[in-house]
Chain A
Amino acid sequence: MAGMKTATGDYIDSSWELRVFVGEEDPEAESVTLRVTGESHIGGVLLKIVEEIKRKQDWSDHAIWWEQKRQWLLQTHWTLDKYGILAAPRLFFGPQHRPVILRLPNRRALRLRASFSQPLFQAVAAICRLLSIRHPEEVSLLRAPERKARKKKEKEPEEEAYDLTKVVLAGGVAPVSFRGMPAHFSDSAQTEACYHMLSRPLAPPDPLLLQRLPRPSSLLDKTQLHSRWLDSSRCLMQQGVKAGDALWLRFKYYSFLDLDPKTDPVRLTQLYEQARWDLLLEEIDCTEEEMMVFAALQYHINKLSQSGEADDPPGADPGLDDLDAALSSLEVKLEGSAPTDVLDSLTTIPELKDHLRIFRPRKLTLKGYRQHWVVFKETTLSYYKSQDEAPGDPIQQLNLKGCEVIPDVNVSGQKFCIKLLVPSPEGMSEIYLRCQDEQQYARWMAGCRLASKGRTMADSSYSSEVQAILAFLSLQRTGGGGSGNHPQGPDASAEGLNPYGLVAPRFQRKFKAKQLTPRILEAHQNVAQLSLSEAQLRFIQAWQSLPDFGISYVVVRFKGSRKDEILGIANNRLIRIDLAVGDVVKTWRFSNMRQWNVNWDIRQVAIEFDEHINVAFSCVSASCRIVHEYIGGYIFLSTRERARGEELDEDLFLQLTGGHEAF
């Protein structure tokens, strides 16, 4: 044992004094001094420290951090010699798990304990297990951006952070589900609320906030984000993260394996949130039409999420008796069948009859809207000169199946028009129906929409469709129809929903709210029947379908080139992009890649592709470690498909993404 002394007090063994600070990296911290020799095992040292401290406490999570070497002494059977600890090391005896504030993809803050001693890859896996997000390999952490903007502005109200630091997860066991959530969330009301925050999409952001948040104005700006990724092969402590620091949790690799609404509510929701914010903050560009679809989906998702509607499919009720089952299956089968079937008459089909004003745009006519008696039955719209003539021949009869229904509404102007583009062998005939009020409009509009899909108003979705339209109209009323370009601030989102919260700010500038609403409404009709998770999935799919989806940008300089260029890294390819214009110069696919090497000294990545194509570049905006890790990560993810269902091959991941520890 270390510390053998002679009678005079001289140490006769080769022991020496080791001073260890207790606590996190605080120079003022109390310290204990032990006598050790080079042969002392770390385990023994730990024991001694605990004895010295003389405090009763659970020390099991504590370990020694060697500050100069930025290294944890975790191997308890190693000796000090083996670690190379000689004189005057600064050692800290502190907890391995420390609280951090995690900024989730939905922009909410969450306090939890993360491992500061394991490689980030494992730490993230543990966090994901806690949050019940599958496939942690797709997720990683970034440093929070410097907060210089904050200082200028008025101080942001300190937002409450959800706290999960108390929650302890039993290791190794798959989380059990309890009351519809992983068991560890159901302990207290607080954690339950936290789970709801995680698994339910949040309300659209305040448009003002949206306008204030920084948005990338160029490709160059989009490269900023990617310089902040943490290194997944090293631990948080090694990367200078301190307890209480804020970190962002994001999906890093845009290759989402096996998204399953049933098992992945949190993952799906967070992915949706990330996609939504990507779009709102213009991290990814889309066209106007696409934005309307995204907005409609957000609106729909928000509505479902707010109403707390369970995500159960309606047919899951086991109590359905035979007859009902038969009838409902019948209904499904009969959908879209020819409407004039004999027996249809047995089941009464509701019809709409009313005086409406009709306008048929024609060349060389100045006629405006004319009052007509309009009868809407099944999928056919007929109109007559007057009600008295209704039994006779209509002026015109239109089968709306397959037609396009376009709302033309202005609530404040009390204009409720339905534009119909009805296909016929000769082309499309255009007709406008003008309704008197919202109620009438909603009924007719819903009927038209169903008819365009070949369904009648007897369809079960009719009433919900009417409600959806009314809800949307009220949204338009409250959503800043009057105040034009200036949305009404945070309180507007309380009563209605501001359409500006659903679209990227550039559309806020481009359209007035009252122009936006009908377009969102129009897009909404195609998604109105989706369930919450279906809608989220649809949103994610639409996001994935964008041409620029999943490209991470880094500024690089290619070997032999004199100017900086952008390297885009996607899940299947590398893209060389002109920095100024944004044009794609060249694409290389990972499937053709032979090998890639990193020269850490000169920060250069060299890649060899099939047919002796060699590419080399040095990294400018981010370290080459990040580029290297991206490439390796995607290669790793592509191996998952084949090994589906197998345990995550962590070694392979670290092998592919690591390799630079030596430096």
Chain B
Amino acid sequence: MGESNEDIDQMFSNLLGEMDLLTQSLGVDTVPPPEPKPPRAEFNYSVGFKDLNESLNALEDQDLDALMADLVADIREAEQRTIQAQKESSQSRPHSASLDVPSFSGAASLGYTANVAAPIISQYEDDLPPPPADPMLDLPLPPPAPEPLSQEEKEAQAKADKIKLALEKLKEAKVKKLVVKVHMNDNSTKSLMVDERQLARDVLDNLFEKTHCDCNVDWCLYEIYPELQIERFFEDHENVVEVLSDWTRDTENKVLFLEKEEKYAVFKNPQNFYLDNRGKKESKETNEKMNAKNKESLLEESFCGTSIIVPELEGALYLKEDGKKSWKRRYFLLRASGIYYVPKGKTKTSRDLACFIQFENVNIYYGIQCKMKYKAPTDYCFVLKHPQIQKESQYIKYLCCDDARMLNQWVTGIRIAKYGKTLYDSYQRAMARAGLASRWTNLGTVNAAPPAPFSTGVKTGTTQANGQIPQAAHSMSTILGEAQRHVETTKDKKSGLSNHDPGAPRAQPLPKSSLPPPPPVRRSSEVGCGSPGTPPKVKGAAAGFPTPPHDLLPPPPPPPPLEDYELPPPPPDLSDAPPGFVPPPPPPSFAGDAGSSLPPPPPPPALAPEAVKPTPVVVKRPPAPPKRQANPGPPGGGGGEQDFMSDLMKALQKKRSNMP
């Protein structure tokens, strides 16, 4: 043991050196305070963060399990990757280097996994690198063979670039994730984890699995901006995290999961958009008769050529004048290159047209109740704006059509012009998915039975967790939103807080204090958890969560999971392992700087770089309404965080114990 301690020491100092290096440069990055405009990085956090409040409360076991499964999978993946990376460079690499990489990466990837949920995890991650890291190592990866330790150190220096490569690979491993709360059409919500590589299509697929809906092509993710009164569906190829990253932290925007037949209407009845129905309403009937074969050839003609064909579309629309509530009627034309209008006294030949807008930098939205809000001539409005604009601005363009059909034509036309063939590809993918789903249900009439009750079970579960009444969640969310805004302002203070939190407990005999007892773990329904060999990772993390009692858990805990934290008794079997891994000298020192956050020098924003992105803390609030009023921002933040963390922890633990 003594020898291994030395090893650990050395590894540790190496690790510290590495981290210093990281954090020094990082310090520079983070020093400029995010002043009037918070750097984009912060938005990332804000999105899910309200979600988390509710979502975690609302999370049902299944949800949580699913989230955890995601997390665990990610960790695995990251581990695999680092092992690989390690292998590549292991030959030449000093033991220490190879060590710190995996431990770091495991942590980092986890930290990133839950970006929104991140605060906790990232802290917990910070706890990892110190000594306990060693034991944990043997769990995820094969021990990195200490033999080649000293001899090849020089060579390792020479191969610094290889290490760099490994570090770069780590970067890959850090995939940003958001927990997104998606509103279902029955007023329930679902929380799911979306990683930054996922497209709307992937998220939909995910939702299909969770909801057992019919998977038809009309399902879409739908974003609504209550403030601007605009909404639109995500295109299947859009990157969800990217879109959500543009939302401000105090946003009221929501993501919905619903069916919109407009989404792919053009592919179901292309004739309505492509065939000459200029000025003739009655032609619609004849168009309906178009047979499948003709539709197909029309689609092929329009979307499968060297370049796609944008529907011919022109007509008078009302344009809202900048900054006024007056609307001007103009003659607009759609072309592949943008929307044009006919200037006064000119003809509509190409050479006379004036460009109104091009699509590169704008998204198209439906305007809701513009008649009321902006005195629009009709309620059939569409809106073009840069995705990053979130507030009223003269750069948002409002256009108003005479009727719903025209609106549909314009919106669809613009989408075709903007996205081109991608749209068709997405449709085909959606069709394939829908076909698959229907075959599934057809195949197993027997199978069809289980899903239904299951899904309802989910729903009731969520509502219960939300406090019986689904509305409660909403109202709460708004209040929470305010509270959070408040919290944001006191962010610095909090980050300071969180700095201390992990540090303090660790100085104590860590693992025991707050370790969730494995055996009694939450009514532990499904899983036969509680194996004695709970992974050290969990311990370390749990250790990061100092004082279980002071969190603001609702006394009559509706969500059973929380209970565990109030059960302090440390299981005896666990206590065996930890002591061995608590080397007296390093942890305090490390906990001092690296534990709280990586960088030693910059104190205030010193959170680990990952933690900088998501404004830490304040993730979760106790669900019970009365409580919510009782506690304002900051203190609640700490407690809430803990809840969430412990939830995660427990789930993680459960998973781990299941996994050999």
Contacts and interface: CB of A to CB of B under 8 A. Distances in A.
B185 interface: no
A471 to B, nearest CB: 24
Contacts of B387: 402, 423
Greatest chain B CB density within 10 A among A340, A396, A506, A587 is at: A340
A396 B37 CA distance: 9
A444 to B, nearest CB: 20
A547 B350 contact: yes
Given A330-B168, A342-B22, A587-B276, A544 B391 contact: no
A428 B309 CA distance: 32
A259 B610 CA distance: 47
B305 A544 contact: yes
Given A423-B389, A546-B350, A547-B335, A343 B307 contact: no
B172 A424 contact: no
Contact of A285 (B278, B294, B351): B351
A393 B613 CA distance: 20
A501 to B, nearest CB: 19
B176 interface: yes
B349 A582 contact: yes
B627 interface: no
Interface stretch (B38-46, B376-384, B563-571, B588-596): B38-46
A537 B307 CA distance: 9
Contacts of A326: 165, 169
Contacts of A537: 306
A6 interface: no
Contact of B337 (A323, A402, A545): A545
B613 A338 contact: yes
Contacts of A345: 22, 25-26, 28-29
A660 interface: no
A436 interface: no
A427 interface: yes
Interface residues of A, number: 63
Contacts of B176: 338
Greatest chain A CB density within 10 A among B22, B167, B286, B305 is at: B305
Interface in B187-224: none
B174 A341 contact: yes
Interface stretch (B353-361, B366-374, B517-525, B528-536): B353-361
Contact of B29 (A340, A402, A541, A544): A340
A496 interface: no
A289 B337 contact: yes
A270 B321 CA distance: 46
B306 A402 contact: no
Contacts of A287: 335, 337, 340, 350-351, 353, 355
A333 B172 contact: yes
B438 interface: no
Nearest to B350: A285
Contacts of B360: 526
Interface string A262-290: 00000000000000000000000111111
B355 A289 contact: yes
Interface in B12-32: 22, 25-26, 28-30, 32
A200 to B, nearest CB: 21
Contact of A346 (B25, B40, B248, B349): B25
A497 to B, nearest CB: 24
A541 B25 CA distance: 46
B400 interface: no
B336 A545 contact: yes
Interface string A500-542: 0000001000000000000000000010000000000100111
A397 B29 contact: no
19 contacts: A287-B335, A289-B337, A289-B338, A323-B162, A333-B172, A337-B171, A341-B609, A343-B22, A343-B168, A402-B361, A402-B387, A402-B388, A423-B361, A427-B396, A428-B386, A540-B307, A541-B307, A545-B309, A546-B335
Interface of B: 22, 25-26, 28-30, 32-33, 35-37, 39-41, 44, 161-162, 164-165, 167-172, 174, 176, 246, 248, 275-276, 278, 286, 294, 297-298, 300-301, 305-310, 312, 335-338, 340, 349-351, 353, 355, 358, 360-361, 386-396, 598, 609-610, 612-613
Interface of A: 255-256, 259, 285-290, 293, 323, 326-327, 330, 333-334, 337-338, 340-347, 380, 382, 393-394, 396-399, 401-402, 404, 423-428, 506, 526, 537, 540-542, 544-548, 572, 582, 584, 586-587, 589, 591, 611, 641
Given A404-B361, A545-B309, 15 more contacts: A259-B306, A287-B351, A289-B358, A323-B165, A334-B172, A341-B609, A342-B609, A343-B168, A346-B164, A346-B167, A397-B32, A398-B37, A399-B40, A426-B389, A546-B350
